[in-house]
Amino acid sequence: MLAAFGGAQSWTFAPAIIALTISAVLIRPAVAIGRSRALDVALLCCLAWTVLQTVPLPLGWREILSPNADAIDRALRFDGNVPRPRPLSIDPQSTLRAAIVTMMVVAMFWITRELCARQETRRLVQAVAWSGLTISVIALLARAYSPDLIYGFWNPGAISPPYGPFVNRNHMGTWLVLALPLVMGYIFARFDDRARRGSFAAAIDTRMIWLMGAAGMMFVAIIVSLSRSAAVGTLSSGVFFGAFAGKRRSRGWWGVLATAAVFVLIVAAIPGSVDLGLRFQEPQAPLTSTAWARTQIWRETLPIIRDFPLTGTGAGSFRTAMLVYQQSDRRLFFNQAHDQYLQFAAEGGVILIVPLICAAVLFGRAAARRLSEDRTPMVWIRAGAAAGIVGVLVQSIWETGLRLPANGLLFAALCAIAIHDQGSDRSARRSDVNR
C-alpha cells in the first residue's frame, strides 16, 4: 500500500485487506483482554460510529440527530427533497471508504501488538527501515529527474508536486515523521545493548550501518521535501526523544547529542536546507493567496462543526461538505481541513470525539507506564515509536496526513509498539533487539 501511492486510490485497499485478514487468522490477536480492554473498547466505539454513519435512518431520527443534513441534501442532490430514509453521512460512499480504512487501522494495531508480544518487534522495525530507505531514494531521484510525476510516469494532477509514492509531499512527510524516530530507536537499542555488555564498538556491524544509512536518507528526504509541517514534526519528535534520554540519565543521552550533531551537519550540507528555511518566511504556499491560507480553511470549517455538532457530516465527507460551506475563491477547492483535529470534529461530531479522547488518554497512560517500567534496551524502540507519534500529532495541527491508509497503518503499528506487553522475559526482549 505504501508503494501504491500511499493508498490514496481505493483499488489499493484489496491487497492490504487480504494481508491483514490472513495475518489476523494466523496470529489471532487478543482483543479487549487484560490491561488493554478499555483502550480496545474505545477503538471499537470509534469504528462502530464510523460504520453507523452509513446506515439509513428514518427521517424523524435523522432530523433529531442531524437537523442540518436535509439542507445539504437539497443543495447537492436532485432527489434531496424526496422523503426517504437516509444515512447521517452526507456522502455515504466516502464514509464507507473511511470506515474500511478505520477497520484496517484498528486491525493493524491489534495484529502488531500481538506480534510485538511474541518478540517480533525487530522484524517490524527492519521492514519500516527498508521501506523508508527505498521510498526516500525513489523520492530524491524523482524530485531530481521528474518532479511532477510519480515513479516517472504517472501524473496525479495535483496542484502541489508529488513526492515519492505519495501525491503530496506533506503526506509523505507524515510517513517519514513516523518512521524516522522508530528506526532511530532501534539504533539506540542496539547500541545500548552492546554498551551493557561492555562492547560498544561491536554494535557497528553491517546491519547497524544500513540502519544508520536508512535513517540518514529519510532525514535528507524530509529536508528536500520542503514540507514545513514535516520539519516541525521531526523537530518535535527529536525534542521528545532527547527529553526521554535526558530523564533516563543513561548512555543514550550522549547518543542523542551525537545524533543531533550529525543531523545538524546534514542540514548544513544540503542546499535544500536553505530553501526549507525560506519557506518558513512565507505566509502561505507560493501558488496560493491569502484567501486559500490554512487559517481561512480553518475559519470556513468552523460552521460545519457548528451545524453538525453531535454527529458530524460523516467520516471522509469533508470535501462534499465544502461544496456548500466554502465561501472563498473556488479556483482552489478545500478538500481537507489542513488540521486533523478540526476534520475529526467536522466529520465525526461529539459522538466520535468522545471515544477518540478516551482512547488517546488510555493510550497515553499505557505508553507512559511502559516507558517507565521497561529497563531493557527495548525501551529505546518504545521511545522511538512514542517520539514518532508525538511528531505526527504536532504535524497534524497543520495537516491531515493520517487520512491516507499507508500513514494510518504505520501510525497504528507505532502505537502498538509503544504499549505492547512482553511480560517479564527479559532475555527474550534482549534477543529481539540483538537480531
**Do 204 and 355 form a contact (C-beta atoms < 8 A)?**
no
The predicted-structure confidence for 363-373, as pLDDT tens digits, reads as follows 999 999 999 99
CA distance 124 to 417: 9
**Do 345 and 315 form a contact (C-beta atoms < 8 A)?**
no
State the pLDDT at residue 426. Answer: 44
Scored b (16 or more CB within 10 A) or e, 383-405 reads: bbbbbbbbbbbbbbebbbbbbbb
Q: Nearest-5° angle of CA 380, CA 242, CA 116? A: 20
What average pLDDT score do residues 201-216 get?
Answer: 83
State the pLDDT at residue 1. Answer: 53
Q: Is the pLDDT of residue 427 over 60?
A: no
State the pLDDT at residue 46. Answer: 96
Q: Which of 403, 400, 384 is nearest to 128 (CA)?
A: 384
What average pLDDT score do residues 223-228 get?
Answer: 90
* Burial class of residue 284 (count of CB atoms within 10 Å of its CB; 0-12, 13-18, 19+): middle
The predicted-structure confidence for 37-49, as pLDDT tens digits, reads as follows 999 999 999 999 9
Q: What percentage of residues in the chain have a pLDDT greater than 90?
A: 58
Q: Which DSSP state fits 58?
A: -
Q: Is the pLDDT of residue 31 over 80?
A: yes
The predicted-structure confidence for 319-357, as pLDDT tens digits, reads as follows 999 999 998 887 788 889 999 999 999 999 999 999 999
State the pLDDT at residue 8. Answer: 61
Q: Is the pLDDT of residue 285 over 80?
A: no
State the pLDDT at residue 252. Answer: 56
Q: Which of 135, 251, 256 is nearest to 194 (CA)?
A: 251
CA distance 215 to 187: 9
Cell of 279: 519557506
State the pLDDT at residue 157. Answer: 67
Task: Identify the weakest region by mean pLDDT among 54-58, 111-115, 245-249.
Answer: 245-249
Q: Is the pLDDT of residue 68 over 50?
A: yes
The predicted-structure confidence for 104-158, as pLDDT tens digits, reads as follows 999 999 999 999 999 899 999 999 999 999 999 999 988 888 877 777 777 776 6
Name the band, by pLDDT with cuts 50, 70 and 90, for residue 425. very low
What average pLDDT score do residues 284-309 get?
Answer: 80
